[in-house]
Amino acid sequence: MAQGILIVVNQEGGRVRRVAYEMLSLAQRLAPGQVTALTFGDGADATREGLARHGADQVVLLSQPAYQRYSSDGFAKAVEKVVETVDPEALFFPATAWGRDLAPRVAGLLGAGLASDCTEIYSRDDGRLGAVRPIYAGKVHARVAIDSPRQIFSLRPNIQAVTESGRAGGLVAVDPGLDASTFQAVVTEVQQSQGGQLELTEADIIVSGGRGVKAPDNFKVLGELADAMGAALGSSRPVADEGWVPHSYHIGQTGKVVSPTVYVAVGISGAIQHVAGISGSKYIVAINNDAEAPIFKAANYGVVGDLFQVVPALAEAVREIKKDA
């Protein structure tokens, strides 16, 4: 009988994102059996200690040449082979671009139900897992039950607390026996467009700009506030589409879904698609010169005024507070 939870994570150079530790921390509280972590690629070996420390009873490292570059169909087949060996009842994926691409493919191969972008996963009365996920652009949160023998969930980043358990992290040898030449699609190059900026989905504070910023050069005003607050810089979709900022800045239903502690929306009107992407924020602060802008309905705090006066003043106030702290 299938038991336990398989956590599927991606890594870069031996570093996994915080959401991997969130999934492990959650799994160690929920799993009736073993918690297994699976990761791929060059540097996978370096992730073992951290995965074990955050809740992995055992670890599968696929560092063979076939898994050096991401392939959606190839990685999905590899996960299928690992499932045959580990036999988990449930699989957790990160609700990132990587996880959103891979999880549905794995679900198709396994014939398993998938609940995506979950903000909560819990034990049901029957001993199986249930989930809570936003629907209707975040206006409603639905409780979801998956009745297939194997259950798959993707977890929204920056939602769960991270705890350490110091579990064994014993290695499980699995060779999927796949030939990379049979993979239909393989990532050949990754270009980093954000430099050293904080990853939006993991940021605790985000400063985001919209069309009200008026010109791409004016984003430096937001950048100064972001630097002062130790925040990541984001944007609404229209300014990303117009090339004012890289598309990696785009936050919203069709971009990155974020759950920071503080989200500062500057010059953003508040289209429903954007609000859906920030609904997990603990506090939303809106700065806009239009008192009727829809963003104020979603905001916890609002400032009606000229952003070119408000934002520099706010940045200076933050710097003063930090200097005196």
Question: pLDDT digit string (tens) for 299-314?
Answer: 999 999 999 999 999 9
Percent of the chain whose pLDDT exceeds 90: 72
Q: Which of 182, 211, 235 is the last residue of a domain?
A: 182
- Check whether residue 177 and residue 40 sit in a common domain: yes
- Check whether residue 58 and residue 112 sit in a common domain: yes
- Check whether residue 27 and residue 114 sit in a common domain: yes
Distance CA 181, CA 193 (A): 29
- Check whether residue 22 and residue 83 sit in a common domain: yes
In a domain, 253, yes or no: yes
pLDDT number for residue 61: 94
Token pair for 164 = 């350490």
In a domain, 195, yes or no: no
Q: How confident is the model at residue 195 (pLDDT cuts 50, 70, 90)?
A: very low
In a domain, 177, yes or no: yes
What's the chain's average pLDDT?
92
Distance CA 16, CA 12 (A): 7
- Check whether residue 9 and residue 129 sit in a common domain: yes
Interval 167-185: pLDDT, tens? 778 888 888 999 989 999 9
Interval 66-98: pLDDT, tens? 999 999 999 999 999 999 999 999 999 999 989
In a domain, 187, yes or no: no
pLDDT number for residue 33: 80
In a domain, 178, yes or no: yes
For the domain that residue 94 is a member of, what is the CATH number?
3.40.50.620
Rounded to two decimals, what is the model's pTM?
A: 0.86
Which of 137-146, 187-196, 264-273 shows the lowest mean pLDDT across its residues? 187-196
State yes or no: pLDDT of 235 exceeds 70: yes
| 18: containing domain | 5-182
In a domain, 280, yes or no: yes
Distance CA 279, CA 298 (A): 8
State yes or no: pLDDT of 192 exceeds 70: no
C-alpha pair distances (Å), 110 with each of 202, 219, 271:
30, 46, 37
- Domain total of the chain: 2
pLDDT number for residue 13: 83
Q: How confident is the model at residue 268 (pLDDT cuts 50, 70, 90)?
A: very high
Give the angle 181-183-185 at the CA atoms, nearest 5°: 120
User: What is the average per-residue pLDDT within 234-248?
Assistant: 94
Q: What secondary structure letter does DSSP report for 267?
A: S
Percent of the chain whose pLDDT exceeds 70: 97
- Check whether residue 34 and residue 119 sit in a common domain: yes
Distance separating the N- and C-terminal Cα atoms of the chain: 56
Q: Which of 182, 210, 243 is the last residue of a domain?
A: 182
pLDDT number for residue 150: 96
Q: Which residues of 143-170 are buried (b: 16+ CB within 10 A; e: fewer)?
A: ebebeeebbbbbbbbbbbeeeeeebebe
- Check whether residue 70 and residue 97 sit in a common domain: yes
- Check whether residue 178 and residue 280 sit in a common domain: no
137 Rama sector, left if φ>0, alpha if ψ -120 to 50, beta otherwise: left
- Check whether residue 127 and residue 219 sit in a common domain: no
Token pair for 221 = 């005003």
Distance CA 269, CA 265 (A): 9
Q: Which of 154, 182, 210 is the last residue of a domain?
A: 182
- Check whether residue 107 and residue 142 sit in a common domain: yes
Interval 100-127: pLDDT, tens? 999 999 999 999 999 999 999 999 999 8
State yes or no: pLDDT of 48 exceeds 60: yes
- CA-nearest of 219, 195, 176, 150 to 5 is 150
pLDDT number for residue 32: 75
Q: How confident is the model at residue 219 (pLDDT cuts 50, 70, 90)?
A: very high
- Check whether residue 19 and residue 45 sit in a common domain: yes
Q: Which residues of 249-278 are buried (b: 16+ CB within 10 A; e: fewer)?
A: bbbbbebbbbbbebbbbbbbbbbeebbbbb
For the domain that residue 233 is a member of, what is the CATH number?
3.40.50.1220
- Check whether residue 163 and residue 206 sit in a common domain: no
Q: H or E element: which one contains 50? A: helix 48-53
In a domain, 189, yes or no: no
User: What is the average per-residue pLDDT within 212-216?
Assistant: 95
In a domain, 154, yes or no: yes
